[in-house]
Amino acid sequence: MKRRNFIKGAGLGLAASTTLAAPAIAQSMPEVRWRLTSSFPKSLDTLFGASEVMAKRVAALTDNKFQIRVFAAGEIVPGLQVLDACQAGTVECGHTASYYYFGKDPTFAFMTAVPFGLNTRQINAWLYHGGGQELLQKDLYDEFGVQHFGAGNTGAQMGGWFRKEIKTPEDLNGLKMRIGGFAGNVMSRLGLVPQQIAAGDIYPALEKGTVDAAEWVGPYDDEKLGFHKVAKFYYYPGWWEGSAMLSALVNKKAWDALPPQYQSAFEAACLEGQTWMISKYDAVNSAALKRLLAGGTQLRAFPREVLQACHKAAMDLYADTASRNPRFKKVLDHYMAFQAEQLSWFRLSEYTFDNFMLATSSGARRRT
């Protein structure tokens, strides 16, 4: 046999063996079909879309052996019952905001947002490198029978839509406002009446006067939900959500039954959902805000007096809650210590750089 023909034949044999081996490996993995229930409607393409991104990545990483079918809020369970559905095994996993369940335990708020808390970069640092994930998994999520993963972030949110201007802390007294999570308890200390309402029900409540004000996320989603049509004053900042982490929750028995390769694929998909969501919001919020302002929305900053009153109310609530809930106190102490370290660094790095760029940009606009 000529050397050339031998090499050619050997090469074909190697290619054939590789082709045969790949399906054998793939066939050794089980087919897994999960259902994911979201807290969000399909119309909110970024909040809901992150779970679709995750499902596609899981399928791609497992040669379509592990597939997750995504359901919008209300298709299986209401949007605020995702944790319950995952606990009970009604679904294998869900995509939600953990602070929706602060009524079960206020400690849940830390994994989404707490008033005057960590910003997006800082909560990522706490979650992935500061011990936040391990602390909350062991002390909270394990007790509720679910595995937790960070799976999205909105970034700093807006302060919401109001029918009337807010000039002093007294203007909050008696106001009925849709406000999510732990922040409602802070606002109630200033006389505001908080309402926990799912996304799809906020506009009708605001239109009918069931609430006087409402907050959701930011310009892109708020425009989609139409709040500007029924309330004209748009406030900032959303001090109760300097960032808002979304959570993927998995039934613990379903998680433990997954092959390690599938667990790795799911974790990687959650990280992709995290990056995809915050970058999407950063890309689209600016243009949405311009459209809202062009349409007559009046932008307002919360007066410093209001922010100071809210900050004091938040710190008092933390102290009161910690005195009654040892788990909350343990996480609060860990969280606040980490925040203090982060602020000392960000004061030198991000803050000074951003302020210079903002001043330079504003000066350039004035000159033109």
Among 34-48, 102-116, 268-282, 354-368, the least confident range: 354-368
- Output the CA angle 241-242-248, nearest 5 degrees: 65
SS3 313: helix
Residue among 215, 226, 247 at smallest CA distance from 101 = 247
Q: Quick: pLDDT tens for 276-320.
A: 999 999 999 999 999 999 999 999 999 999 999 999 999 999 999
Question: What distance in Å separates the CA atoms of residue 189 and residue 195, rounded to the nearest whole number?
Answer: 14
Give 12's pLDDT tier (boundaries 50, 70, 90): very low
Q: 158 pLDDT band (50/70/90 cuts)?
A: very high
Exposure string over 274-309, b if 16+ CB within 10 A, otherwise e: bebbbebbeebbeebbeebeeeebeebebeeebbeb
Q: What is the pLDDT of residue 362?
A: 64
**Residue 154's Cα: distance from chain center in Å?**
6
Confidence of residue 199 (pLDDT cuts 50, 70, 90): confident
4 pLDDT exceeds 50? Answer: no
Give pLDDT, residue 363. 56
Q: What is the mean pLDDT of the chain?
A: 92
| Predicted pLDDT of residue 27 | 60
Lowest mean pLDDT among 169-178, 221-230, 352-361: 352-361
- The pLDDT of residue 332 is above 70: yes
* 211-230 mean pLDDT: 96
Give, in order, the Cα–Cα distances in Å from 282 to each of 157, 193, 219. Answer: 11, 31, 11
Burial annotation 12-24 (CB, 10 A radius, 16+ → b, else e):
eeeeeeeeeeeee
State the pLDDT at residue 198: 79
Which residues are CB-contacts of 242 (< 8 A; sequence separation ≥ 6)? 113, 116, 117, 118, 119, 120, 156
| Residues 178, 205: Cα–Cα separation, whole Å | 9
Please give the backbone phi and psi of residue 331, each rounded to the nearest 5 degrees, phi first: -70, -40
User: Residues 187-198: what's their mean pLDDT?
Assistant: 92
Distance of CA 214 to the CA centre of its chain: 18
Q: Looking at residues 260-276, what average pLDDT do you find? A: 98
Whole-structure pTM value: 0.88
Is the pLDDT reported for residue 18 higher than 60?
no
User: Is residue 360 predicted with pLDDT exceeding 70?
Assistant: yes
% of the chain with per-residue pLDDT over 70? 91
* Residues contacting 225, CB < 8 A, separation 6+: 44, 199, 202, 203, 216
Residues 162 and 87: their CA atoms lie apart, in Å, by: 37
Enclosing H/E stretch for 316: helix 304-324
16: pLDDT confidence band, cut at 50, 70 and 90? very low
